[in-house]
């Protein structure tokens, strides 16, 4: 029988869950439908840090760039990396707020279609037997067959079409999930083992504020989900999408966004190419935003892509006087080699 430990959030009588000895705190809480802040689920961002007030946990070594020496000395641990070795109590930082509380699930999917989007990018259409409850912007973990490794891919479809999921996958040279699986042997009809939803990068309750969407590469996927949900709620929502890539051949979903622009006059599509001359807009998405707007007061922004692009985009939004609380971001970073934790 698997050992179970009781883990309680201090000061919250209704936030006590049972956690397996080899199960992470984050996994246990999310499976119970109890929200804990989370983002990368890889131990690299620090979003899920909680304070261990009593009890003990197993946790691999954590970089001081993620948890400072002072934090670690004060008892802070990463919920996505820590498994209890006794009953425990944790304290969630006061500024954590609330977030999506969709129960974490193990999913069995079936590939319906693999569609080429660009020279090194495909769209996976995956069907699931029971619709998935998730918030626009969240992601799933894929289990790479035969390896135990996991990779993370954001849903590109809106929550309203949750029985067939869309993912955008860019080839990584010699990648365990891409070159050696998705771009090599994966075919329609094949099963995919998944887990989720994860992440706090979600479409928020920002009324009908006009939106700035900044995407780098396949960071476009969650922004597509966010844009479609926003338009489901408010068809005349003002949305400015900037999609940044290095080369013209890296652009994808151009027809989709062009058609969306035609059917929704307040949607503005701005593809940007940074390393190649072409008939369209050249340069970086952050610079394009600065050039297009004198002020972004009253706007909200969602940014997703490589860290450098996201950081530059945040600076551009703040330069145009957008408050930091209105800027939502997700950085794509290389996935470490990690194995699934038994639930």
For residue 2, pLDDT over 90 is answered with no
What pLDDT, on a 0 to 100 scale, did the predictor assign at position 181? 97
pLDDT, one tens digit per residue, over 207-247 is 789 999 999 999 999 999 999 999 999 999 999 999 999 99
pLDDT, one tens digit per residue, over 90-108 is 998 866 667 888 999 999 9
pLDDT, one tens digit per residue, over 246-299 is 999 999 999 999 999 999 999 999 999 999 999 999 999 999 999 999 999 999
Tokens read off for 321: 């006087």
Q: Which domains does the chain have, with CATH numbers?
A: 4-96 (3.10.20.30), 105-198 (2.40.30.10), 211-331 (3.40.50.80)
Asked whether 154 and 137 are in contact (CB, 8 A), the reply is: yes
Give which of 92, 194, 81, 90 is closest to 134, Cα–Cα.
194
The DSSP secondary-structure symbol of 198 reads: E
pTM for the full predicted model: 0.93
Element (DSSP H or E) covering residue 287: helix 285-292
d(CA 23, CA 58): 10
DSSP string, 216-279: EGGGHHHHHHHHHHHHHH-TT--EEEEEEESSGGG---HHHHHHHHHH-TTEEEEEEESSS--S
Tokens read off for 173: 């040279």
pLDDT, one tens digit per residue, over 161-200 is 988 999 999 999 999 999 999 999 999 999 999 999 999 9
Mean per-residue pLDDT over the chain, rounded = 92
d(CA 255, CA 171): 21
């Amino acid at each position: 029988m698997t050992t179970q430990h009781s883990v309680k959030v201090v000061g919250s009588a209704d936030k006590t869950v049972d956690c397996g000895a080899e199960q992470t705190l984050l996994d246990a809480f999310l499976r119970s439908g109890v929200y804990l802040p989370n983002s990368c689920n890889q131990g690299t961002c620090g979003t899920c840090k909680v304070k261990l007030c009593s009890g003990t946990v197993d946790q691999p070594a954590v970089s001081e760039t993620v948890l400072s020496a002072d934090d670690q000395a004060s008892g802070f641990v990463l919920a996505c990396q820590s498994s209890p070795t006794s009953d425990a109590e944790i304290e969630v930082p006061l500024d954590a707020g609330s977030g999506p509380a969709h129960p974490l699930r193990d999913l069995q999917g079936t590939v319906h279609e693999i569609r080429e989007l660009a020279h090194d990018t495909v769209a996976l259409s995956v069907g699931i037997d029971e619709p998935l409850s998730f918030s626009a912007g969240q992601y799933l973990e894929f289990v790479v067959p035969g390896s135990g490794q996991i990779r993370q891919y954001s849903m590109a479809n809106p929550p309203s079409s949750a029985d067939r999921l869309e993912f955008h996958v860019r080839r990584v040279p010699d990648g365990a999930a891409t070159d050696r699986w998705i771009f090599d042997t994966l075919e329609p009809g094949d099963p995919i083992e998944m887990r989720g939803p994860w992440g706090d990068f979600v479409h928020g309750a920002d009324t009908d504020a006009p939106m700035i969407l900044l995407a780098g590469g396949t960071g476009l996927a969650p922004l597509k989900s966010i844009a479609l949900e926003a338009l489901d709620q408010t068809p005349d929502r003002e949305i400015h999408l900037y999609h940044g890539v290095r080369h013209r051949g890296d652009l994808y979903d151009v027809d989709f966004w062009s058609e969306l622009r035609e059917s929704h006059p307040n949607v503005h599509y701005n593809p940007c190419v940074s390393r190649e001359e072409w008939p369209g807009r050249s340069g970086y998405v952050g610079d394009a935003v600065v050039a297009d707007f004198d002020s972004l007061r009253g706007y909200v922004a969602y940014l997703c892509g490589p860290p450098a692009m996201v950081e530059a985009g945040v600076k551009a939004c703040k330069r145009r006087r957008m408050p930091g609380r209105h800027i939502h971001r997700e950085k794509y970073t290389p996935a470490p080699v990690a194995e699934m934790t038994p639930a």
